[in-house]
Amino acid sequence: MQATQVAIVGAGPSGLLLAQLLQGQGIDSVVLERHNREYVEARIRAGVLESTTVELLREAGIGERLLREGLVHDGFELAFGERLHRIDLRALTGRQVLVYGQTEIQKDLGDARAASGAPVVWEATDVRLESLEAPHPWLTYSHAGRRRELRCEFIAGCDGYHGVCRASVPSERITCYERVCPFGWLGLLADVPPVSEELIYINHERGFSLCSMRSRTRSRYYLQCPLTDKVDEWTDERFWSELRLRLPPRYVERLTTAASIEKSIAPLRSFVAEPMSFGRLFLVGDAAHIVPPTGAKGLNLAAADVRVLYHGLAEYYRTGRETLLQEYSARALGRVWKAVRFSWWLTSLTHKFTDEPFTDKLQAAEFDYLAHSRAASEALAENYVGLSFSE
Question: Which residue ranges form the domains of the chain, and what is each CATH number?
Answer: 2-177+268-385 (3.50.50.60)
Task: Give the separation between CA 43 and CA 171, rounded to whole angstroms.
Answer: 30
**What pLDDT shows up at residue 279?**
97
Strand order in the sheet with 277-278: 120-122, 29-33, 6-9, 154-157, 281-283, 277-278
293 is catalytic: yes
Nearest to 174 by CA among 290, 282, 78: 282
Cβ-contact 261, 190 below 8 angstroms: yes
Residue range 191-232, pLDDT digits in tens: 999 999 999 999 999 999 999 999 999 999 999 999 999 999
136 is catalytic: no
In this predicted structure, the answer to whether residue 333 has a pLDDT above a threshold of 90 is yes
**What pLDDT shows up at residue 332?**
97
In this predicted structure, the answer to whether residue 27 has a pLDDT above a threshold of 70 is yes
Q: Choosing from 13, 137, 194, 201, which is the catalytic residue?
A: 201
The CA R_g of the chain, rounded to the nearest whole Å, is 21
Task: Give the separation between CA 103 and CA 214, rounded to whole angstroms.
Answer: 10
Q: Choosing from 141, 292, 293, 328, which is the catalytic residue?
A: 293
**What pLDDT shows up at residue 391?**
43
pTM for the model: 0.95
First to last CA, the chain: 43
Share of the chain above pLDDT 90, in %: 94
177 is catalytic: no
Task: Give the separation between CA 334 and CA 330, rounded to whole angstroms.
Answer: 6
73 is catalytic: yes
Q: Quick check: helix, strand or coil at residue 85?
A: strand
Q: Choosing from 297, 310, 316, 328, which is the catalytic residue?
A: 297
In this predicted structure, the answer to whether residue 355 has a pLDDT above a threshold of 90 is no
384 is catalytic: yes
Cβ-contact 149, 30 below 8 angstroms: no
pLDDT classification of 390: cutoffs 50, 70, 90: low
> Quick one: 309 exposed, middle or buried, by C-beta within 10 A (0-12, 13-18, 19+)?
buried
Nearest to 165 by CA among 24, 298, 12, 57: 12
Task: Give the separation between CA 221 and CA 223, rounded to whole angstroms.
Answer: 7
**Half-sphere exposure of residue 145, counting CA atoms within 13 Å on the CB side?**
0
As a whole number, the mean pLDDT across the chain is 95
Residue range 97-134, pLDDT digits in tens: 999 989 999 999 999 999 999 999 999 999 999 999 99
Task: Give the separation between CA 109 and CA 61, rounded to whole angstroms.
Answer: 9
Mean pLDDT of 259-278: 96
Share of the chain above pLDDT 70, in %: 99
Q: How many CB atoms lie within 10 A of CB 343?
A: 23
pLDDT classification of 241: cutoffs 50, 70, 90: very high
Q: What is the DSSP letter of 14?
A: H
